[in-house]
């Protein structure tokens, strides 16, 4: 909402400076977003008279003028066709900057004749579009006066962010009254000469008491719809409104001045009376913005016998709009239900200044006066004869009664304010305060409905910034830990991943449909995405990471190690997940190791296990199984499970079709850690289980087995470990070999088994017995000891 | 009787002159071997009279001692020279690069969230979370934004597709629904912060359709706007590690708080950059207020018994202000160069003793 200083002062009598006014507005909750003086850029331009005009000796279209801008005659070369002796216009002297093009004027020879400045057009001064000639001012304009002073352009425009809870400040007067309550001056009365209407009022009624509880109207006949007076046009222009015609300008002026939207119908274009009613579903109206809207039966409209003429409270219809030829009008001043206006506006995606006001709630007690003021202006500016007003329906003027305790200013607002001061503030804001502190908000303050609102009113006027800071009570002792197990887990895996050389990234929660399809599709799709690229909630973190990897590789990154900790959005909930993508070079080429190496599935496995270990998962008990999913390489991926069903992680190489879908060249290794599947560490005391390192040294024995291809290394190791649970404490694969000497369909797996003696050392016989058990256990898998 | 002195002199000279271990060993054999000259002399001791042996014995032993010691010393010297030579051959160009370990990093948003959790833990606030795909009741209605509320339309809400007859879910437009879930899920007193992703359909230089917010909520008896102001001041002083943080409260409007306040923070110019602290100018930082009685009631609590404050602040914005990024968009682009530059070491764990800034 924009206001000008001069306009404000029409409603408030104050000596306060612009600076004080601006500071006060912000302090009381009417945040000033900017102050601009439209005259500032024209300060160097003056009213000047052309004393004489003679042809330019070198150019047909130019004239040589003698101009008096208050300091005696100056020679000026001018090309305007209307330049002539006696014309009073606007002169820019050397040093002035032309607003339209930023040119700094200087003394210069034009086609050989010296010119000491410029006579300006409307467009050059950004005062309008006219560029057919130089500005022509009335002959009595004072020569030498600064043009902005003459034209009244030195009226600062203040732009205020009026919050949705302040319907009363959607007009200049409401803002002025808030300043008055803040102690900046006194309110000027809203003065207007009453209208002596004659004859029956217009035929209007409301059949929609819910959507339009009150419909007041008055007609004026025999008027002339010309151009609004200078003062009105100047104010409207200053706040960014285009002047259209006297009637339209009057409705706009009353709306911005008093927060009271109106509508004026050309009576000649109406058939019969006007009625406020619900629209018939499918009914159409061509609105003043040139667009046709199809209405629903929930929407309130104003219609005559034939058609809809107004989307009630939002926008008028083109068909009955006023024109320069209009002579008879019906002026509408109605009350529309705020919720209904909001719903209709949202459904039609139609915003307007009227909607912004009705939606917040206009003053329901200001219909009669608002209509009278509008009619008065029409009579004064357009002539004609007014009818009596018609008052159909009743606006909801019942005032709320709030039981208030002035102690609340301190117990809720934190600021002690004397009750009498509070009473004065509330009264100044138009609230009625009864002796028992029952408070009645003014009808215009629809937003106020409880004691907390009254506290806000008091505090904002006293100054919310003067509320003293009060320490929160503190629990005794050192602050207790607050993180939940899930939060601790997230924090640990995040920092473990960073410690392992991975870069944490944050990617969009939403994907394009094709990206989602590439990993099996998502459950949740936005109905109103901001772009097709950000449409489906991600079912996996891989797409975002693959896209990021692709961008990094395209930029020339050698190796990319990214991870993200975020949610997957599945049909049954949002799952915390940590995903890793390893793309490009695992190690660059180097003088020690030669060629660059690429990431393998075992790089992914190493990350998965390390991060699970950091998360506190029992990594030694995990089983490596398949079924990582279609996004993964079918032969080089796996899942890490705790028991057959609980999948803690998937890891391996990403399927080439998946990487291709994200435009990534070369193999990509990846991990997905399903954080919510990781069992929480059991709460226990800080003390660890008792432990003493064994006194005797462990013994290692190697076995090479020939096994069918179908037997996994893990199966063989588990068999070996299980062969003698007392003696064997570890087993691991240290070699896998196929080829010469190994029969087809088989492979050779070498394992190292660690035996830990207890009280006494193993004898040769002990070792032989354990070895036999290992061989026997392996034999059950079809493994035979290689000779 | 052989004169021992010239022999000793010769042997010691030969030992000193031995250039290799082989030559040295030859001398050893020559002197101390089975047929060696000193060995031969020792053998003569058996044929001597006791008196003569008493005289000759120590002399011969003396020579043997001297030669043995000389050989050992010479051997050590030759060994050392060999080692030195080998090491000299092993010389490498120590300016060659070592294998570089990849440099991991923590995202600034995560770091800042950890910092905030640390500070607020000291003030007794726990961290709460809630869903990002939220129902309209939690995101709007319970927060005193009924269906036709203009503020609801101002939220630039993303709606999810819904089945026939189902109400569309939304991507939460703020972290405030976590307030509702917390108040409904636990008994007061409550002190929480709720960080997370939020979504608005807005995209320009300073807005991204996804960003991070952190919500604060205190519900207790006798909580006032003064506590809110102290909490924010205390937090910001700790977060920016500056004692000259100045706040300015301005009346504002949020449907879910009453009274509501916009909080500006004072800044000063330091080296051409706006930093928080002092009061050369003001920047809008966060929205806050006393939780609206209707919101408390919507959560099943008695607003006459319980009251409190809430605030919400952009996490990305705080990160930018503290660590000097001036563009929001790279936060979500995953550019490894940016992540390494603006990211944090795994070891930069914010703690009160070591500081919450890194």
**Contact list, B293 vs chain A (CB under 8 Å):** 450, 452
Cα separations (Å) of B213 from A258, B196, B349? 38, 6, 21
Residues B121 and B24 in one domain: no
Shortest distance between the Cα of A367 and any Cα of chain B, in A, equals 23
Q: How far is B85 from chain A (nearest CA, A)?
A: 24
Residues 422-451 of A with CB under 8 A from B: 450
This model of the complex carries an ipTM of 0.90
Q: Does some domain include residue A512?
A: yes
Residue A102 · residue A88 · CB < 8 Å: no
The pLDDT value recorded for residue A443 is: 93
> How many domains does chain B fold into?
2
CA distance to partner chain A, nearest, from residue B177 (Å): 16
In chain B, alpha helices (H): 4-17, 21-32, 37-44, 50-89, 108-122, 136-139, 150-153, 177-185, 225-240, 293-298, 315-323, 336-342
- Please state the pTM of the whole predicted model: 0.86
Of B233, B252, B345, the CB nearest to A469: B233
B65 is in an annotated binding site: no
Residue A686 lies in a domain: no
The CA distance from A418 to the nearest CA of chain B, in Å, is 17
Q: What is the CATH number of the domain that holds A12?
A: 3.30.56.10
Q: Please check whether residues A659 and A721 belong to one and the same domain.
A: no
Same domain, B41 and B119: no
pLDDT tens by residue, B131-165: 999 999 999 999 999 887 766 766 689 999 998 89
CB-based burial of residue A164 (10 Å sphere; 0-12 exposed, 13-18 middle, 19+ buried)? middle
Show the tokens assigned to A360: 């917040």
Cα dihedral B18→B19→B20→B23 (10° resolution): -30
Q: Name the phi and psi angles at B206, rounded to 5.
A: -115, 0
| B158 interaction partners in chain A (CB closer than 8 Å) | 526, 528-530
Question: Hey, of B251, B257, B289, which one would you mutate to test binding to chain A, going by the most A CBs within 10 A of its CB?
Answer: B251
Instruction: State how far the Cα of A557 lies from the Cα of A562, in Å rounded to an integer.
Output: 12
**A135 and A176 share one domain:** no
Which A residues, 561 through 580, put their C-beta within 8 Å of a C-beta on chain B?
561-562, 565-567, 569, 573-574
Q: What's the pLDDT score for residue B204?
A: 84
Residue B121 shares a structural domain with residue B268 = yes
> How many folded domains does chain A comprise?
6
Which residue of B99, B222, B258 is in closest CB contact with A590? Answer: B99
Q: Which two tokens stand for residue A140?
A: 């009595």
Judgement on whether residues A46 and A31 belong to the same structural domain of the protein: no
Q: Which residue has the higher pLDDT, B1 or A214?
A: A214
Q: Which two tokens stand for residue B188?
A: 């007061």
pLDDT in tens, B94-139: 999 998 899 999 999 999 999 999 999 999 999 999 999 999 999 9
Which residues in chain A are closer than 8 Å to B253, comparing Cβ atoms?
29, 163-166
Which residue range forms the structural domain that includes residue A59?
40-151
Q: Does A314 map to a domain?
A: yes
Q: Say yes or no: A663 contacts chain B, CB-CB below 8 A.
A: no
Contacts of B127 in chain A (CB under 8 A): 482-484, 487
Query: Among candidates A504, A503, A512, which has minimal Cα distance to A662?
Result: A512
Minimal Cα distance from B263: which residue of A?
A465
Contact B110 A452 (CB under 8 A): no
Nearest CA in chain B to A534: B209
Disruptive mutation site among A505, A535, A553, A593 for chain B (greatest number of B CBs within 10 Å): A505
- Residue A143 shares a structural domain with residue A165: no
Q: What is the dihedral of CA B181, B182, B186, B191, to 10 degrees?
A: -170
DSSP of A701-737: EEEEEEEETTS-HHHHHHHHHHH-TTTEEEEEEEEEE
**Same-domain status, A646 and A518:** yes
Condensed to tens digits (0 to 9), the pLDDT of residues B48-62 reads 898 988 888 898 899
pLDDT value at residue A683? 66
Which of A122, A124, A126 is closest to A137 using CA atoms?
A122
B219: closest CA among B305, B112, B345, B120? Answer: B305
Contact A464 B250 (CB under 8 A): yes
- Rounded distance, CA A402 to CA A405, Å? 10
Say yes or no for a CB contact (<8 Å) between A455 and B103: no
| Record: contact A527-B168, CB cut-off 8 A | yes
Alpha carbon of A607: minimum distance to chain B alpha carbons (Å)? 13
Contact flag A456-B258 (C-beta cutoff 8 Å): yes
- Containing A238, the helix (H) or strand (E) segment is helix A230-238
Is B289 inside any structural domain? yes
Burial class (CB in 10 A: 0-12, 13-18, 19+), B327: exposed
Does residue A343 sit in the same domain as residue A303? yes
Nearest to B150 among A360, A524, A552 (CB): A360
Is residue B355 in some structural domain?
no
Residues of A comprising the binding site for Mg(2+)?
A: 447, 453, 456-457
Q: Say if the Cβ atoms of B110 and A470 lie within 8 Å.
A: no
Q: Could you give the 3-state DSSP secondary structure of residue A390?
A: strand
Interface A-B, measured as beta-carbon pairs within 8 A, has a size of 266
Q: Is A541 on the interface with B (CB under 8 A)?
A: no
State how far residue B31 is from chain A, nearest Cα, in angstroms.
48
Q: Are residues B202 and B326 in the same domain?
A: yes
One domain, residues B81 and B137: no
Nearest CA in chain A to B335: A552
Strand partners, A566: A577
Which range of residues forms the domain containing residue B315? 108-342
Answer yes or no: do B172 and B221 share one domain. Answer: yes
pLDDT at A128: 72
Domain shared by A379 and A520, yes or no = no
Whether chain B has a CB inside 8 Å of the CB on A412: the answer is yes
pLDDT value of position A130: 73
From B192's Cα to the closest Cα of chain A, the distance in A is: 10
Q: Is residue A354 part of a domain?
A: yes
The CB-side HSE value for A441 (13 A sphere, CA atoms) comes to 24
What's the maximum distance between 2 C-alpha atoms anywhere in chain B?
Answer: 133
Distance CA B259, CA B123 (A): 23
Contact assessment for residue A132 and residue A125, using Cβ atoms and an 8 Å cutoff: no
- Is there a single domain that holds both residue A163 and residue A136? no
Are B136 and B258 in a shared domain?
yes
Find, in chain B, the residue whose alpha carbon is nearest to that of A33: B284
| Residue B2 banded pLDDT, cuts 50, 70, 90 | low
Confidence at residue B21, expressed as pLDDT on a 0 to 100 scale: 92
Query: Could you report the average pLDDT of every consecutive run of 10 residues in chain A (787 residues)?
Result: 95 95 94 90 91 89 91 90 91 90 89 90 81 87 90 90 91 96 94 87 95 97 94 91 94 97 95 94 93 95 93 92 95 95 91 94 95 96 96 94 96 96 96 97 92 96 93 92 91 97 97 93 93 95 97 95 97 96 95 94 97 94 91 96 94 96 95 94 81 94 95 94 94 93 92 94 94 96 89
Evaluate the omega torsion of the peptide bond into residue A418 and state whether it is cis, within 30 degrees of 0.
no
The verdict on residue B81 lying in a domain is: yes
């Amino acid at each position: 909402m924009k206001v000008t200083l001069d306009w404000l002062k029409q409603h408030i009598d104050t000596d306060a400076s612009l600076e004080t006014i601006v500071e006060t507005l912000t302090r009381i909750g009417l945040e000033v977003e900017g102050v601009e003086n439209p005259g500032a850029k024209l300060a160097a331009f003056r009213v000047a008279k052309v004393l004489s005009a003679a042809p330019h000796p070198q150019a047909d279209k130019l004239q040589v003028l003698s101009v008096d801008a208050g300091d005696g005659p100056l020679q000026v070369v001018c090309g305007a066709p209307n330049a002539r002796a006696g014309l009073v216009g606007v002169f820019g002297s050397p040093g002035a900057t032309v607003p339209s093009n930023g040119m700094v004027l200087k003394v210069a020879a034009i086609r050989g004749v010296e010119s000491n400045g410029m006579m300006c057009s409307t467009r050059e001064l950004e005062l309008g579009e006219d560029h057919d000639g130089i500005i022509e001012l009335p002959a009595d304009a004072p020569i030498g006066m600064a043009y902005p002073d003459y034209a009244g352009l030195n009226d600062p425009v203040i732009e205020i962010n009026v919050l949705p809870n302040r319907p009363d400040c959607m007009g200049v007067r409401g803002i002025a009254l808030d300043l008055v309550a803040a102690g900046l001056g006194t309110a000027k009365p809203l003065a207007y000469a009453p209208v002596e209407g004659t004859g029956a009022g217009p035929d209007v009624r409301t059949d929609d008491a819910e959507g339009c509880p009150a419909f007041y109207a008055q007609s004026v006949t025999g008027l002339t719809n010309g151009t609004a007076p200078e003062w009105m046009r100047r104010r409207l222009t200053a706040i960014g409104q285009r002047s259209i015609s006297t009637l339209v300008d009057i409705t706009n002026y009353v709306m911005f001045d008093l927060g009271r939207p109106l509508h004026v119908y050309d009576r000649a274009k109406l058939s019969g009376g006007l009625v406020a009613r619900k629209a018939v579903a499918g009914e159409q109206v061509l609105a003043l913005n040139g667009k046709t809207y199809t209405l629903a039966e929930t929407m309130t409209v104003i219609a005559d016998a034939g058609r809809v003429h107004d989307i009630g409270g939002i926008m008028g219809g083109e068909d009955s709009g006023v024109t320069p030829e209009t002579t008879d009008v019906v002026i509408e001043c109605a009350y529309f239900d705020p919720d209904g206006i909001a719903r209709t506006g949202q459904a039609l995606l139609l915003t307007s200044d009227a909607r912004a006001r009705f939606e917040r709630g206009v003053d329901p007690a200001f219909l009669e006066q608002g209509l009278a003021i509008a009619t008065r202006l029409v009579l004064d500016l357009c002539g004609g004869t007014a009818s009596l007003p018609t008052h159909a329906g009743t606006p909801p003027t019942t005032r709320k009664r709030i039981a208030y305790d002035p102690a609340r200013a301190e117990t809720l607002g934190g600021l002690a304010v004397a009750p009498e001061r509070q009473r004065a503030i509330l009264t100044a804001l138009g609230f009625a305060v009864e002796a028992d502190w029952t408070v009645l908000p003014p009808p215009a303050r629809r937003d106020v409905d409880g004691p907390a609102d009254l506290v806000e009113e008091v505090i904002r006027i006293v100054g919310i910034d003067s509320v003293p800071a009060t320490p929160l009570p503190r629990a005794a002792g050192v602050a207790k830990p607050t993180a939940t197990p899930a939060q601790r887990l997230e924090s640990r895996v995040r920092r473990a991943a960073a410690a392992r050389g991975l870069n944490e990234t944050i990617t969009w929660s939403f994907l394009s449909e094709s990206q989602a399809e590439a990993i099996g599709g998502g459950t949740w799709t936005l109905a109103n995405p901001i772009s097709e690229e950000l449409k489906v909630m991600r079912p996996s973190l891989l797409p975002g990471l693959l896209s990021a990897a692709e961008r990094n590789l395209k930029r020339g990154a050698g190796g990319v190690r990214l991870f993200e900790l975020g949610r997957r959005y599945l049909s049954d909930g949002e799952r915390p997940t940590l995903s890793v993508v390893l793309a490009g070079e695992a190690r660059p080429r180097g003088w020690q190791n030669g060629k660059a190496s690429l990431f393998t599935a075992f790089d992914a496995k190493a990350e998965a296990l390390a991060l699970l270990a950091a998360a506190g998962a029992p990594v030694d008990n995990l089983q490596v199984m398949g079924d990582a999913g279609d996004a993964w390489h079918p032969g080089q991926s796996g899942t890490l499970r705790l028991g057959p069903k609980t999948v803690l992680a998937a890891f391996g190489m990403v399927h080439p079709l998946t990487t291709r879908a994200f435009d990534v060249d070369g193999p990509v290794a990846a991990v997905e850690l399903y954080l919510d599947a990781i069992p929480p560490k059991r709460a226990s005391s800080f003390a660890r289980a008792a432990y003493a390192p064994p006194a005797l040294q462990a013994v290692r024995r190697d076995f090479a087995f020939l096994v069918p291809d179908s037997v996994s290394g893990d199966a063989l190791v588990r068999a070996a470990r299980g062969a003698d649970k007392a003696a064997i404490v570890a087993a691991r694969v240290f070699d896998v070999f196929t080829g010469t000497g190994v029969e087809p369909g088989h492979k050779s797996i070498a394992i190292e088994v660690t035996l830990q003696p207890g009280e006494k050392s193993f004898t040769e016989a002990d070792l032989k017995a354990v070895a036999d058990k290992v061989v026997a256990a392996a034999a059950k898998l079809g493994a035979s000891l290689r000779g | 009787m052989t004169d021992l002195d010239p022999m000793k002199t010769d042997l010691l000279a030969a030992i000193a002159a031995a250039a290799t271990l082989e030559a040295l060993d030859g001398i050893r054999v020559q002197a101390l071997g089975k047929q060696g000259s000193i060995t031969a002399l020792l053998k003569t001791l058996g044929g001597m009279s006791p008196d003569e042996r008493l005289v000759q014995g120590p002399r011969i032993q003396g020579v043997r001692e001297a030669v043995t010691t000389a050989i050992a010393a010479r051997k050590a010297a030759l060994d050392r020279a060999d080692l030195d030579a080998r090491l000299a051959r092993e010389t490498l160009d120590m300016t060659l690069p070592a294998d570089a370990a990849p440099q991991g990093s923590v995202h600034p948003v995560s770091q800042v969230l950890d910092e905030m959790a640390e500070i607020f833990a000291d003030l007794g606030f726990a961290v709460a979370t809630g869903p990002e795909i939220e129902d309209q009741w939690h995101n709007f209605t319970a927060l005193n934004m009924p269906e036709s509320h203009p503020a609801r339309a101002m939220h630039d809400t993303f709606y999810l597709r819904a089945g026939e007859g189902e109400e569309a879910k939304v991507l939460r437009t703020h972290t405030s629904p976590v307030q509702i879930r917390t108040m409904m899920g636990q008994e007061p007193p409550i002190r929480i912060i709720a960080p997370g992703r939020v979504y608005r359909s807005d995209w320009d230089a300073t807005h991204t359709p996804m960003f991070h917010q952190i919500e604060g909520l205190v519900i207790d008896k006798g909580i006032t706007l003064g506590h809110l102001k102290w909490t924010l001041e205390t937090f910001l002083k700790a977060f920016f590690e500056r004692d000259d943080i100045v706040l300015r409260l301005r009346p504002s409007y949020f449907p879910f708080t009453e009274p509501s306040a916009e909080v500006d923070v004072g800044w000063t110019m330091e080296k051409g950059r706006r930093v928080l602290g002092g009061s050369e100018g003001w920047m809008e930082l966060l929205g806050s207020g006393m939780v609206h009685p209707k919101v408390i009631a919507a959560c099943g609590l008695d607003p006459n018994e319980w009251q409190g404050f809430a605030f919400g602040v952009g996490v990305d914005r705080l990160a930018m202000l503290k660590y000097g990024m001036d563009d929001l968009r790279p936060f979500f682009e995953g550019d490894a160069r940016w992540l390494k530059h603006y990211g944090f070491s795994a070891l930069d764990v914010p703690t009160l003793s070591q500081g919450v800034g890194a």
